[in-house]
Chain A
């Protein structure tokens, strides 16, 4: 390229020079033991304290229904329910959940196999085609279940005007409350229809 200044630079050596003591050497000291109930099944686990709840589910327990979209708490694909409240499992360390009850998308239905009875939210997503590629779907469903609970309990959102009244689930309320779950396919209209249908049933 003409006119470009040739600047010799030693890049990245700093990484090695300033490397902290090898974290892997102390690995054993970094494990933690805890008990956790996942989809009604109790587990006694010992894991590296740095393992996220998401990786615990996907890599250790083979519960791959919960997806990893960004691993930074910004897309909502990894949403699960912890003691009934929605949590981004990629932002939560597994060892923090000693004694917690975790429900993933695999645990929402009652029973297993062909006789399983879908959770009303799953049935509504099915009925209203609340997905295109399906990758955000488990997170959307878990988030919607948690969101409706919050709403039924009268929790206000950013767009709630009257903090003392029970908010109506208006389009703005619904969309604001679900805005942490990105759907790149933009299946939002059908997702909203599904959630709204469930909100009416249970109201």
Chain B
């Protein structure tokens, strides 16, 4: 068993809303839905070259294949061949002419069985012209390829002058890789045609409203004819914010043409080749500082690989820019972004949405200053963390900074100073005795801005019904992907009505109950939807209260909803009636027992043109400390211990939040260590299955994992019950793993040289870094690049197009 700190008992943990279903295998995901009569099964035909032109496509053999009902291409789209989520019109559903990435869709086959559809795909005869692909950041920069979205600059003060005037300065580069979501449930959709233009699309989507809109545009029908629905996802992590649309659109198009239900679950390899991933970055930094480790000025250029279309790259990179300070005050600063268009999958949202990338660069700068000054990195951190009243690079005043307190508290709790001294001593001894293991330790904080930068996204709706038997049904615009949102929403309603969670039923997220919703993203699901549920439930509760006051002649101010009962003070003393009985009376008295709810986040603003504003309602804070051990002969390593102190405000559900912290951290550690995406020279993704793309298993858990929530620190802002968003911030905490590895490597030359260890720090990368240090070479700041020869035959994937 893992060693874990004792669980804080803030309140009795509420059971996951689907717990009993999950353990019995009866919680249904899209591909588990009972198949309607006549369901067709789909398989997409994909491009296999990264860049070129479609010359001709002969699908006659595909159409003639056994079981095939129809084969559809761009020509069969009644509306728009466009799935760009931001209206950039650069993301056709089907290729018509130019091919800009491997894994783009050429056609879709619908057959009686899945095997028939997949077998038929292979019969396509596709002729293409190949052009040289632009695959990575360096090549894109050299080629001066056009950007996927416009770059942006954020400035405050004169960074150049401040750096020039500073006593010391240094420059470097940090490179960090992308990341595959690997949601365990792949992309899936089932489309059911209805009367006339009506259609229901069950889709594993984080954004049903967008899926609805995409399908409506595709079929050229109004939004009011399409319903998009999802009960739960088997993981999303941002990978189903926009990337679910393709799959849903293919199913909808087939259902539209055949008038039969159409089902598609992407094959895992296809899924990995087709869908966008986390943006990889190369960040160049120059910092001016002094001998005390105080930063005077920072200049950064954040270049990233966007892939073949804009998708959400704009907002992702904005978030990287707004978090390239992580938790530190830059007296003068210039941050520029370079969002590069490449012939690879279109990179997209992934837990953290650019924050982990920006924050990692800030932490590298801190590490560099520590090496340059000889100070402990934590001392450098504490000397530069925000004080309240200071301005961010986007000119927002920080008012809730607790980074210094969290860092200090965590250092004390986990014994950072003594352990660090002990590690240094044990490394020295190991060196003396010629042993190969070296240990490292590092601590990093996070300050994570909460709210969508697109201001209009910060709204939410809910729908609550109370039935005459006293049972309650709630619905809201957020989607459940394992983050426990639905459980939290049920807790909110249960609290308002004074009912046990078992009397609350939560139904699937669906566009015909709550319309015009935002994506469940930006960690804002509970913040936004919680307030909307609160609004709806409170409206009904107030109606019941007013009714009860009149009916029972009670003082409305004394009426309490508690324990499935309604307690009130009347002239005759205290009266207690069951909730159900009062509800029944209210119904007979014609009181409305249903209400919608709405919420919009106050105080926020953002001007994308100037890169200034108040884009975040508040910040969520945290800090983590990692201790690792590396084998200097092989570059292999193990995470021995992790301590986390995290700020969830007054947590809505400490058990769920703890799971989010552990899960986010481990996923972040995977990104920085073992998860490596490799494209070959022709632009084919060679890591398109878990056999070649390694994600953390149980065996990769930290040996000791202590997670604590900051206690009794309510959110200063009036969020739902003063809680804080918790889905993404812990992901960025994993930075400490990379810097702990770097600390261990640095011991090889007595901490004289900053190893400039890049991510993912796979054992190969660590070993290369070790050898570089041993050879006394100054670090290049570039990760090892693996050259992968392109091959013509891919043994795993069905090669088409």
- Please report A residues at the B interface, Cβ cutoff 8 Å: 1-13, 15-16, 19, 22-25, 27, 48, 50, 58, 62-72, 74-75, 77, 104-106, 108-109, 116, 118, 122-123, 125-126, 129-138, 141, 171-172, 174-176, 178-193, 196
Contact = CB atoms under 8 A, between A and B. Distances in A.
Contacts, number: 243
Interface stretch (B216-224, B370-378, B405-413, B687-695): B687-695
Contacts of B237: 184
B234 A67 contact: yes
A65 B698 contact: no
B458 to A, nearest CB: 25
B157 interface: no
A18 to B, nearest CB: 11
Given A141-B23, A175-B699, A72 B268 contact: yes
Contacts of A108: 24
Interface string B660-682: 10110111000000000000000
A27 B31 CA distance: 26
B705 A189 contact: yes
Contacts of B690: 70, 72, 74-75, 182
B422 interface: no
B1 A193 contact: yes
Nearest to B184: A135
Interface in B1-27: 1-4, 13, 15-16, 18-27
Given A4-B132, A106-B24, 9 more contacts: A1-B134, A6-B130, A8-B55, A11-B49, A27-B66, A67-B185, A68-B31, A105-B24, A106-B26
Interface stretch (B115-123, B388-396, B512-520, B621-629): B115-123
26 contacts: A1-B145, A7-B130, A10-B127, A11-B49, A15-B123, A15-B800, A62-B34, A65-B24, A69-B185, A72-B269, A74-B690, A74-B691, A106-B26, A118-B23, A122-B23, A126-B20, A132-B483, A133-B185, A133-B235, A134-B234, A137-B22, A171-B703, A182-B184, A186-B665, A187-B662, A188-B701
B1 A137 contact: no
A5 to B, nearest CB: 6
Contacts of B1: 171, 174, 192-193, 196
Q: Main SS of chain A's interface residues?
A: loop
Interface string B105-138: 0000000000110010011111111111010000
Contacts of B181: 184
Nearest 10 pairs of A and B residues by beta carbon:
A65-B25, A133-B482, A135-B234, A105-B25, A132-B482, A4-B132, A134-B22, A64-B32, A186-B666, A186-B663
Contacts of B265: 68
Contacts of A11: 48-49, 126-128, 801
Given A1-B132, A12-B124, A126-B23, A24 B119 contact: yes
Given A15-B123, A184-B182, A189-B4, A133 B23 contact: no
B484 A122 contact: no
B267 interface: yes
A22 B703 CA distance: 53
B51 interface: yes
Contacts of A187: 659, 662-663
A67 B184 contact: yes
